[in-house]
Amino acid sequence: MAAVIRALASVDATAYRALRLEMLALHPDAFTSDADEEAQRPLAWTEQRLATAPDKPHDLWLGAFDGEALVGCVGLSGRYRAKERHNATVVGMMVHPRARGQGLGERLLEALLARARALPTLTQIDLTVTQGNDNAQQLYERAGFTVFGVHPAAIQVGGRYYAKVLMVLPLREVGA
């Protein structure tokens, strides 16, 4: 698929919200966010989420577009307390079922990591993936992420608990 990957902005809020609500409902155990809870939020919340903010330089969203249609996205969410500013988390990785298995997830992740490496104060990236979501975990392992722990019963969906695998990718030497 000749999809184009570009940064998302507030103008993409309607498309991003629609993709996200569909994916949260389709894969409730893959995400910590809940489809019903998120559907209650107004479009303005999504617009705010996609807006760039000077005080949050590590927050960004990328989208994959097949023509005009948003078919995938991934985000980076920074942490801004002084002692942990060098960390950011990959969030909201999703590719619509009709666009999967063609390398879009990998392209989105690589594009996000390229932008993360260009941020001088960022030294490592972390993420969580539901235990058993092997497609996603393998995607992250191919990009260089390694497992550093497991959070038992991290989320509860429909009365069942799921563990989250914790992964990290150093972007540069930190000498720790």
Ligand X SMILES: CC(C)(COP(=O)(O)OP(=O)(O)OC[C@H]1O[C@@H](n2cnc3c(N)ncnc32)[C@H](O)[C@@H]1OP(=O)(O)O)[C@@H](O)C(=O)NCCC(=O)NCCS
The site for ligand X (CB under 6 A) is made up of 23, 27, 30, 93-95, 100-106, 129, 133, 135-136, 138-139
- The residue sitting closest to ligand X, measured at its beta carbon, is 105
CB of 37 to ligand X, least distance (A): 17
Element of type H or E holding 146:
strand 146-157
The amino acid at 14: T
**Contact status, residue 101 vs residue 120, Cβ threshold 8 Å:** no
Burial of 20: CB neighbours in 10 Å, binned 0-12, 13-18, 19+: buried
Which residue, 112 or 122, is less far from ligand X as judged by CB? 112
Shortest distance (Å) from residue 119 CB to ligand X: 21
Do 79 and 90 form a contact (C-beta atoms < 8 A)? no
Closest approach of Cβ 109 to ligand X, in Å? 8
**Cα distance between residue 56 and residue 121, in whole Å:** 12
22 versus 47: smaller Cβ distance to ligand X? 22
Taking the least distance from each CB to ligand X, the nearer of 57 and 103 is: 103
| Residue 128 CB neighbours (<10 A) | 19
Nearer of residues 9 and 25 to ligand X, judged by Cβ: 25
Look-up of token digits 């594009």: 111
Cβ 135 to ligand X shortest distance, Å: 4
